Copies of this chain bind each other. A is one copy, B any other.
């Protein structure tokens, strides 16, 4: 397939980022307003072209920095997969590699070089179609949401939404917001404190949630959650 003069097609490769955080009790995604065609003026996931000699994940971090001003060094990026529908970009064939990250509260994004603006947006508005995103970015975001939901089940990833130190209630709020359910505070407390390696007590306390002071915890060193925290079923 090479010696007979046939030459493989070349195409553009991009990275796109699904960055979630929790803002005012709503699961929100980072989006940017596109400053250039196609879809100029439309909101989209942050992302951009991969350089010829650039590793995919490096490109993802670079775009995050360039387009949003977020210091992405400590963010854990997880690859969601490749999206390569031939029709997904009107100009030309573009294959994109999507990444997922969960960010703790508050890093306020600012527009960077290529984007007019950057902001957090509640994902409900996007999933419901109320706010349209460019390209197939709604589909990508939907994938990211599914991935995040299931990762909470069997990994300790939920704490990535929290700050350095957090209470069990704050952690429970993460589950409730991402899963869109209510969880019993007492059963959650029991389960999470018994999971080996999830939490590390700091000895300190806080009253920021009101009521009786709550213990503050740090992330433990376990990345897997065993036994898993199963999402409540309808049945």
Residues of A within 8 A of B (CB): 1-3, 8-13, 36-37, 48-56, 79-82, 84-86, 93, 95, 97, 114, 226-228, 230, 233
Q: Which of B12, B50, B84 contacts A84 (CB 8 A)?
A: B50
Q: How many copies does the complex hold?
A: 2
Q: Which of B36, B52, B95, B230 contacts A9 (CB 8 A)?
A: B52
In the assembled complex, how far is the CB of residue A177 from the closest CB belonging to chain B, in whole angstroms? 23
Contact yes or no, A3 B36, CB < 8 A? yes
State the CA gap A56–B85 with chains docked (Å).
7
Main SS at interface, chain A: loop
Contact yes or no, A11 B13, CB < 8 A? yes
Q: Which residue of B lies closest to A59 (CB)?
A: B84
Contact yes or no, A81 B82, CB < 8 A? yes
In the assembled complex, how far is the CB of residue A184 from the closest CB belonging to chain B, in whole angstroms? 19
Q: Which residues in B have their C-beta under 8 angstroms from that of A9?
A: 12, 49-52
Contact yes or no, B85 A55, CB < 8 A? yes
In the assembled complex, how far is the CB of residue A7 from the closest CB belonging to chain B, in whole angstroms? 9
Q: Which residue of B lies closest to A66 (CB)?
A: B1
